């Protein structure tokens, strides 16, 4: 037996996800790299760990037992790392976050200083849409979530950061018909929407509904970045969060189209479950956020004030 820790980690991820593709995604590896690791691991056993039925991979009973043992080994490896750091008096462990898609332009600035101070912290940040972020929080899969619309009817504790502003955005070539005012601006505008479950979409639909905006041509794209690229390419217009378009506005690749009632303002907030027992890492992060948030906002988001 001569397997590596890497092979163990890869095999465990395949067993957990039941898929080479998903394991590769979760480990940020290519599919061929994962397949090779699996093959090298399998070569050390006479009994199959997996079997392929059609295009699906299944873990055999033997594989399941091995996966269970591997999980214990990985657990022990984390324990060794943690003990080493504890011995050196450092904060160690995982910080798990889920952030909404435009939160990826916000959260890293609040994490950078903290992670630099505590090198023993392993950060995991999932970037998805609002519905999935709230699901992860409810399922207790993360310590904190970053949203800009705090969920109603769900008991959470929160720390407000700064305003999220959403404007109608078009590309540099956008030439709107003259003389149109208010909701008329939207006439004939192809609008790009985010996918169902997105908070931005929810906000945009509410605005359209409450302003009686006429029937619009629609496109639907599944991430903020995809919407931005589509607007840049001239495919349409969208109501977008200002944080995600900073550079494009500076470079004059995108423009804000002034419309009555915009920007829509929501509030970037860090939220967590009130009854959650925060880990020492999560507690330290919350303390850091309470102490440093104003300074970080002033240093990193001062550009925001001009809009
Ligand atoms: P979204 O969320 O990424 O789901 O659009 C944005 C938000 O909650 O503000």
Cα–Cα distance measured from residue 70 to residue 44, given in angstroms and rounded to the nearest whole number: 14
* Partners of 57 in beta bridges: 52
Q: Is 180 a residue whose pLDDT tops 70?
A: no
Per-residue model confidence as pLDDT tens digits over 187-233 = 778 899 999 999 999 999 999 988 888 767 679 999 999 999 999 99
The SS3 call for residue 144 is: strand
- Nearest CA owner, ligand 1 atom 2: 199
Q: Which residues surround ligand 1 with Cβ inside 6 Å?
A: 100-102, 129-130, 147-149, 164, 194, 198-200, 224, 266
Q: What is the pTM of this model?
A: 0.73
Pocket test for ligand 1, best of 128, 198, 201, 270 (most atoms within 8 A of CB): 198
Q: Which residue has the tokens 């908070």?
A: 199
Tokens of 67: 């996966």
Distance 66 CA to ligand 1 centre (A): 40
Q: How many CB atoms lie within 10 A of CB 259?
A: 20
For the CA of 102, the nearest atom of ligand 1:
3
Distance 134 CA to ligand 1 centre (A): 11
Per-residue model confidence as pLDDT tens digits over 77-121 = 888 877 777 777 678 889 999 999 999 999 999 999 999 999 889
Which pLDDT belongs to residue 304? 85
Distance 167 CA to ligand 1 centre (A): 14
């Amino acid at each position: 037996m001569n397997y590596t820790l890497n092979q163990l980690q890869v095999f465990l991820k395949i067993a957990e996800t039941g898929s080479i593709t998903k394991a590769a995604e979760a480990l940020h590896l290519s599919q061929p790299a994962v397949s090779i690791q699996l093959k090298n691991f399998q070569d050390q056993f006479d009994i199959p760990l997996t079997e392929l039925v059609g295009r699906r991979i299944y873990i055999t009973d033997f594989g399941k037992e091995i996966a269970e043992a591997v999980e214990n080994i990985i657990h022990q490896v984390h324990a060794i790392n943690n003990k080493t750091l504890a011995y050196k008096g450092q904060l160690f462990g995982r910080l798990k976050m889920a952030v909404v898609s435009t939160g990826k332009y916000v959260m890293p600035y609040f994490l950078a200083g903290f992670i630099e101070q505590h090198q023993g912290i392993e950060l995991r940040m999932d970037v998805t849409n609002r519905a999935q972020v709230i699901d992860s929080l409810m399922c207790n899969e993360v310590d904190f979530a970053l949203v800009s619309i705090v969920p109603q009817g769900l008991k959470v504790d929160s720390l407000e950061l700064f305003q999220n502003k959403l404007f109608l955005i078009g590309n540099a070539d956008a030439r709107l018909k003259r003389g149109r005012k208010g909701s008329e601006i939207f006439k004939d505008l192809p609008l790009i929407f985010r996918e169902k479950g997105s908070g931005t979409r929810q906000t945009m639909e509410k605005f359209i509904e409450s302003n009686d905006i006429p029937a619009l041509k629609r496109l639907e794209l599944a991430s903020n970045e995809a919407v931005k690229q589509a607007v840049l390419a001239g495919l349409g217009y969208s109501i977008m969060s200002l944080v995600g378009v900073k550079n494009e506005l500076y470079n004059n690749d995108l423009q804000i189209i002034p419309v009555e009632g915009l920007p829509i303002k929501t509030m970037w907030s860090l939220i967590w479950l009130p009854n959650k027992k925060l880990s020492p890492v999560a507690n330290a992060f919350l303390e850091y956020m309470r102490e440093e948030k104003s300074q970080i906002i002033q240093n990193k988001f001062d550009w925001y004030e001009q809009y």
